[in-house]
Amino acid sequence: MAVAQGTCPSCGAPIEFGVGSSIAKVCEFCRATVVRSDRGLQNLGKVAEIANTPSLIAVGDSGSLAGRPFEVLGRVQLDHGLGPWDEYYVSFDHGQAWGWLAYAQGHWYVTSAVPGLAIPPYGALRPEMDIPLGQYGYFRVAEVRSGSIRSAEGELPGAFPPGFTRYYADCYGQNNGFATLDYGDGSGAYSVFIGYVFGEPQLQVTQLGQRSVQKVKAAQIKCPQCGGEIPKLSGDRAERVGCPYCGAVSDIALQQVVAQQEAMLKTPMIPIGSRGTIEGVEYICIAVVKRSSDFDGERFGWEEFLLWSQGVGYRWLVKDESSWMWVVPVNLAELDLTSMPAQVTWGGRTFTSRNSNEARVDYVLGEVYWKCQVGEEVEIQDFVHGSDVLSREGVDGEVNWSYSSPIPWPMLAQAFGLPVDGPGAQFSPSAGSATPSSGGGATVLLLVIVVIVLLVCMLGACGACLGDGSSGSSSGGSGTTTGGGYYRSGSGSYGGGK
């Protein structure tokens, strides 16, 4: 059922608009953007081919999101310098409403236009600013960015000329609220899109549309440098992979090497591909990222293990010189930031500032969900409450918060079926504090380990322990976790239409 139809001014092929909110359509035969107006159909010029991206949905798919029926009508590909990401134009309730849908880090971001709300000018925005959005309450800015439109397909709620730069801010609200402030080309007009973040399982595709890009459905990722076959562990979600055979880091969809590294000689303490159940959720370890920070001229490194589960998305396990930490994302809208930068209150507890450092990615092995670059840096601020840490990671107009708490190695060993006295055992929490859930009989062993570690420190044989006071810092952090980040590559939702 078409609400409007005609022929493509460029090639003469039939053009149909399925819903009233569709203003433009990319001709599927000649890729011209065709805009409808009172004067008929107009050709805005051809768009580039859609680039291959990691994507779970496609134009033409239909299904339900949190119980609400949807259909994917179109897609816009944007880029802010590191490669394309997708925003999908969807209709809801069989064409009664429309919105934008995007996937990032195991979550769906969906928004719909809300007219009549006043927002600050783009230039006045900064991360963590609170934006009142009328009856929807306050939203907190997590990302202020621009991206250029590189391609599009299907129907669109506005004209999207290729190469056009769009300015936007992504914000989070209470109860998984999410909003995009869309400043268009930055010339003054804006639109506000408000919606929610949903867990991946809340979207179900019940009918597949035609896939525009020929996707190679393989169980392996082929390393473009050495040709090695790397098992695909998180389906079509990963952006980049560090090859276990040759070390090259490559973009999976584009099949391009983006960085060279030495091949890793040692098996990671939690091997990639191993599965473990933590807090009742089964995760698979899909990557190890080594990061480091400079403390008074000395470099301290730590390792972060990326875990993935379809039910909850991504989690990080961080191993620093003295402990293992379990990291979960924090919705920045739930933080009390009134005492920043000295203190932050969250969940009824106050965390005190401990350190602020640049953290650098030194090595990547396995598959990651962002357009990871070796050498990329973020600013980390850590706030502590006992042995628990709240971390803020900031880069390029974007901020992420995460919460880390110690997790004993014996519990991890048990979860992943690794030896309790394996290499990971030397990194046990120095204080047996709150852990997500106890591993049971591991406590005695943990105590023994703690005593051994203490003895080693007293003997002065452990340089890392001495450095720990100042550097422990770097560790807990790793906000890699949360919503966005350099980690989140092209993230969140982008409110497109006018």
Minimum distance from residue 98 beta carbon to Zn ion (Å): 24
Q: Determine phi and psi for 373, rounding to 5 degrees.
A: -125, 135
Binding of residue 225 to Zn ion (CB under 5 A): yes
Binding of residue 245 to Zn ion (CB under 5 A): yes
Residue 32 or 258: the one with the smaller Cβ distance to Zn ion is 32
Residue 27 or 384: the one with the smaller Cβ distance to Zn ion is 27
Residue 173 or 224: the one with the smaller Cβ distance to Zn ion is 224
Residue 131 or 365: the one with the smaller Cβ distance to Zn ion is 365
Binding of residue 257 to Zn ion (CB under 5 A): no
Member of 4, 30, 114, 254 binding Zn ion (CB under 5 A): 30
Window 315 to 374, contacts with Zn ion (CB under 5 A): none
Binding of residue 258 to Zn ion (CB under 5 A): no
Residues 6 or more apart whose Cβ sits within 8 Å of residue 127? 141, 142, 143, 144, 394, 397, 398, 399
Window 142 to 201, contacts with Zn ion (CB under 5 A): none
Q: Is 64 exposed, middle or buried (0-12, 13-18, 19+ CB in 10 A)?
A: middle
Q: Which amino acid appears at position 484 of this protein?
A: G
Tell me how far apart the alpha carbons of residues 242 and 249 are, in angstroms, rounded to a whole number. 4
Q: How far is CA 270 from CA 120, 238, 263, 324, 332, in A?
A: 47, 19, 17, 12, 30
Member of 10, 62, 105, 293 binding Zn ion (CB under 5 A): 10
Minimum distance from residue 271 beta carbon to Zn ion (Å): 18
Q: Determine phi and psi for 457, rounding to 5 degrees.
A: -65, -45
Residues 6 or more apart whose Cβ sits within 8 Å of residue 177? 136, 137, 139, 194, 195, 196, 197, 333
Binding of residue 228 to Zn ion (CB under 5 A): yes
As beta bridge partners, residue 379 has 358, 394
Residue 129 or 226: the one with the smaller Cβ distance to Zn ion is 226
Piece of 10-18, 57-65, 356-364, 388-396 that binds Zn ion (CB under 5 A): 10-18
Size of the site for Zn ion (CB under 5 A): 16
Member of 2, 3, 5, 13 binding Zn ion (CB under 5 A): 13
Minimum distance from residue 6 beta carbon to Zn ion (Å): 11
Window 48 to 77, contacts with Zn ion (CB under 5 A): none
With contact defined as beta carbons under 8 Å apart, do 412 and 276 qualify? Answer: yes
Binding of residue 5 to Zn ion (CB under 5 A): no
Member of 27, 78, 125, 287 binding Zn ion (CB under 5 A): 27
Q: At what angle do helices 442-458 and 463-476 cross, to 10 degrees?
A: 120
Member of 129, 159, 246, 464 binding Zn ion (CB under 5 A): 246
Piece of 140-148, 246-254, 286-294, 462-470 that binds Zn ion (CB under 5 A): 246-254
Q: Which of 72, 75, 93 is nearest to 84 (CA)?
A: 75
Minimum distance from residue 420 beta carbon to Zn ion (Å): 33
Binding of residue 230 to Zn ion (CB under 5 A): no
Which residues here bind Zn ion, judged by CB under 5 A?
Answer: 8, 10-11, 13, 27, 29-30, 32, 223, 225-226, 228, 243, 245-246, 248
